[in-house]
Copies of this chain bind each other. A is one copy, B any other.
Amino acid sequence: MATLKYSRQRETIKNFLMTRKDHPTADVVYMNVRQDNPNISLGTVYRNLTLLADIGEIQRLRVGDGVDHFDADTSPHYHFVCTECGSVVDLEMDSIENITEIAGANFDGHITGHVTYFYGTCKHCTQKQKLS
């Protein structure tokens, strides 16, 4: 496997992602990282996000809106996606890891994990709906 070399761009991207808990898209990362690094290219942002996700330093979230989101928090946790405003937030909830076993009970192959996203309206959008 190729050896990893240091790159200022990669460090900037990782650092930026760690300051955010709203799971930005590649484009949002690009916009923000450009402030410190005006010459960085979108391709480099994509390359590094993919690389960081591959080596497990960040997480790629496919929430179903057609755009990938990224999360510097790689600890196991679940996400909520607001169907009104599209926001993606962490959920504080009891473990549901047992669903993998439930799913594997009658299954011939080998289940190693699962991906779950919860949908609905966030606090803000729920309140807005009540007013109308």
A126 to B117 CA separation, bound complex (whole angstroms): 27
Interface contact B119-A114, CB-CB below 8 Å: yes
Residues of B near A111 (CB, < 8 A) are 80, 118-120
The distance from the CB of A48 to the nearest CB of chain B, in whole angstroms, is 20
Determine the main DSSP class of A at the interface with B. mixed
Interface string of A117-130 (1 = CB under 8 A from B): 11111111110000
Q: How large is the interface on A (under 10, 10 to 19, 20 to 34, 35 or more residues)?
A: 35 or more
Interface contact B118-A91, CB-CB below 8 Å: no
Interface contact B116-A112, CB-CB below 8 Å: no
Question: Which residues does A use to contact B, with CB under 8 Å?
Answer: 62, 64, 78, 80, 82-83, 91-94, 96, 99-100, 102-126
